[in-house]
A and B are shown apart, each in its own frame.
Chain A
Amino acid sequence: MSDNQDRSTELVEQVRAALAAGTRLAIQGGGSKSFYGRAVEGEPVTLQGHTGIVNYEPTELVLTARAGTPLREVESVLTDEGQMMPFDPPDFDGNATVGGAFAAGLSGPARPWHGSARDLILGMRLINGRGEHNRYGGEVMKNVAGYDVSRVVTGSLGTLGVITEISMKVLPRPEAECTLVLEQDPTAATLAVENWFREGMPVTGAAMHEGRLHLRLAGSASAVRVARERIGGEKLSDGSAWWQGLRDQTLPFFASDLPLWRISLPPSAGNLDLDGDRLFDWNGQLRWLYTATPAAELRERASSLGGHATLFRGGAPDAAVFHPLTPGVHTLNQRLKQAFDPDGIFNRGRMYADI
């Protein structure tokens, strides 16, 4: 277990000093997602050592932890109480932190059924670009006081401030889980999974690769048993390891140095019609792709289907990682950045060159 220590005073001082000196800052948690986003120049601000679970009350379904707390630690504390982080954040190299999970806003394979990081956040403490350290949201399920700053900051990759503490909703871990493998092409599989879900089957994962559907069922033992009998297919002996491999990108598919694209699409979006090796997650709404197709063409195609494309790994340091924003949205993004970080000191350029 990491120590229970509060470095927030020191972190606030560092931010204020940077503001006074006009220095740019590069915020770091565990470094597990350093490959993600554009390169940032700046003096490091580390959340290492700012650790500890501040409040955890299983029957309240809320856990509050300092941002530098390793994700694994939170997961293990929750597991002991039969609970979990429903959005299943990736841990990649095992060094991910709570703050990093919400700053990146990435969610694992259960996302379409269990919600995302932004769905599960209840509150946060944040040091903004005026050097103010404040709490937003709180530690209760229903709270609509003030703008939903915690959700706006979730997924902002440290460009709006330093997250120092997170309060999140947690849920009971399902009693039983099983993974089935079925031979099916992605289009048929997507439809089948959707129909099983509509029939009330406890679907919590659906991924397709090389003509095979991996389907995760999780719920009461009786519901999982009945669904398994109804659906058929082969039972995978170590299903949870497979899903962890998908979540943390340790499956063989991800063992390539080629640029990896992440394409997020509406339900039943159909075929991208692009060359390259691909893996579908989120029942077809998330597609991982290695392709020689030029970025502009790929983004054009994703846009035309109502989605967007991210150069997730392996691009050139100055490549445009994130999908271009429409002019109106881009303007609002710039103004929001200005509202939180008037001097532009936090993770400048990590998302977009001017943000």
Chain B
Amino acid sequence: MAASVYRSEDLTFTVDVEALLQRLGNALEPDSLLVDEESKRPFECDGLSAYRELPLVVALPETVEQVQTVLTICRDLGVPVVARGAGTSLSAGALPHPQGVLLSMAKFNRIVEVDNARRIARVQPGVRNLAISEAAAPHGLYYAPDPSSQITCSIGGNVAENAGGVHCLKYGLTVHNVLSVTIVTMDGDVVTLGSEALDSPGYDLLAGVTGSEGMLGVLVEITVKLLPQPPVKEVLLAAFPTVDSAGHAVAGIIAEGIIPGGLEMMDNPAIRAAEDFVHADYPVNAAAILICELDGNTEEVGDQLNKVRGLLEQYGANDIRVAANADEKARFWAGRKAAFPAVGRISPDYYCIDGTIPRKRLAEVLRRMEELSEEYKLRIANVFHAGDGNLHPLVLYDGNVPGEFDRTEQLGGKILELCVEVGGTVTGEHGVGMEKINQMCVQFEKGALEQFHAMKAAFDPAGLLNPGKAVPTLHRCAEFGAMHVHGGKLPHPDIPRF
């Protein structure tokens, strides 16, 4: 076997390939089972294409019964399973396992019902995020969480990762907008968690499964709540002479009691890249811009607009624009929504980091990131969900330059550790996946990691679902810790080191 992205401890499955293929062949139609290399190739990576791995086989079930059968076969034969939605994960959460089945939920693409009166949509996991809002639009409703990849990402993947978006500060993440899920467990059982009521008896297993990165069960149906489209939306764009002043303005807006529908910040490199790409008439000389969306009823938004405009001036904005019409609103947002591909045009490759910090530490974190950028000789463009402190530094690199990707990964790791150091987290919305698993050792104590493993075992005793992701083993932390010494102390001095 070629060198794997997986560690040897995650490659200890002994799989009877012949028995597996035979049983899967009996359970699925021939075109729902991909075995040859060429057919499997499109599934070798997700949105983090630096990590690639071919699975043993790709299974594309069409019914809940088929999902049950596939999981039962895998349980019987001790085969790992990685579930996959649209494959837009940015943390290699859907990276295939070389000894296992890649379970694609692409055929689960039906919107089962949109109920206007109850303001819910019941959908299959392969339905695209944006398709839910499109189906709800005739009723004046929409689904609030809007990851930047919403045109392609699937709702199942959103639940698996607890995806966010630009409206989280006011409308929450996926976990706040999902009422119920039906999962198939590794035992082959079909279980519904949550309900259409506002609470359910027993433990909140729905919250446990949301954001669990495909480690606890396979989603086969999801019920989301829908919200009325706000009657009024206003979008402001403000340019600031320093990133600091923009950061203070964000705190000022919230201190005033205003929670914007969206509040985004971009630094100068990101502004320039976006402007070159979409020509939204962004102020390219600004150190930072804020895009602020206010939504609600006419009176509330009117009041807030006046207050926000005053605050932006007070905090030193030197160019404040209020979108005059729907086209201009869309244009203000276009640059931000296209920030990642825009950066992709100015650099052969870019690597998107995702961490969250307490907002008051923004200036310090940016300064430290500049130092890291110089140390690693890699440029960084910054896009933030400013309202909730979720950072997306984009590291520009060239994958064709030997060693440059490794340096990029190291820099990314340093940035995430910095987020933890200032009281934040290694992932705000993209998930841990394979990408950030080492940094989990920095964020969580040994006892918490052990508790995570125990929780996984409650759902998946044999550890067959998405092994080697999301939660590091203590062995891994011991090895990683040997490289990362904080304050002269090893993070887990009580773990034997190899």
Contacts and interface: CB of A to CB of B under 8 A. Distances in A.
Interface of A: 57-62, 82, 105, 111-112, 115-116, 118-119, 128, 130, 132-136, 138-149, 151-152, 154-156, 160, 171-173, 175, 197-202, 219-220, 222-223, 225-227, 264-268, 282, 285-286, 306-308, 310, 322-326, 328-333, 335-340, 351-352
Contacts of A326: 191-192
B298 A140 contact: no
30 contacts: A105-B199, A105-B204, A119-B176, A130-B451, A135-B448, A140-B356, A140-B424, A141-B356, A141-B389, A142-B388, A145-B427, A146-B471, A147-B455, A148-B212, A149-B455, A151-B204, A152-B455, A175-B257, A200-B228, A219-B300, A222-B303, A223-B297, A223-B303, A265-B197, A328-B190, A329-B192, A331-B189, A332-B458, A338-B458, A340-B455
A206 B189 CA distance: 39
Interface in B342-361: 356-360
A247 B229 CA distance: 29
Interface string B241-274: 0000000000110110111000000000000000
Given A148-B208, A200-B296, A142 B230 contact: no
Contact of B427 (A118, A144, A202, A339): A144
Interface in B171-209: 172-173, 175-176, 185, 189-193, 195-205, 207-208
B211 interface: yes
B443 A145 contact: yes
B161 interface: yes
Contact of A152 (B185, B205, B436): B205
A151 B208 contact: yes
B176 A115 contact: yes
A138 B355 CA distance: 13
Contacts of B471: 146-147
Interface of B: 117-120, 140, 161-162, 164, 168-169, 172-173, 175-176, 185, 189-193, 195-205, 207-208, 210-212, 215-216, 228, 230-232, 251-252, 254-255, 257-259, 296-300, 302-304, 356-360, 385, 387-390, 423-432, 436, 440, 443-445, 447-448, 450-452, 454-459, 470-471
Contacts of B443: 145-146
A152 to B, nearest CB: 5
A147 B208 contact: yes
B259 A143 contact: no
A57 B422 CA distance: 14
Contact of A144 (B302, B359, B429, B459): B429
A328 B182 CA distance: 11
A306 B299 contact: no
B303 A152 contact: no
Given A144-B211, A200-B232, A323-B201, 8 more contacts: A139-B423, A140-B356, A140-B388, A146-B470, A147-B471, A326-B191, A339-B454, A339-B455
Contacts of B304: 220
A324 B385 CA distance: 42
Given A134-B444, A222-B300, A142 B204 contact: no
Contacts of A308: 195, 197, 200-201
A149 B118 contact: no
A146 B443 CA distance: 10
Given A152-B204, A307-B195, A308-B195, A172 B452 contact: no
B202 A329 contact: yes
B162 to A, nearest CB: 5
A60 B427 contact: no
Contacts of B230: 200
B350 to A, nearest CB: 21
B172 A57 contact: no
Contacts of B436: 145
Contacts of B447: 128, 130, 132-134
Given A146-B432, A219-B300, A265-B197, A332 B390 contact: no
Nearest to B248: A59
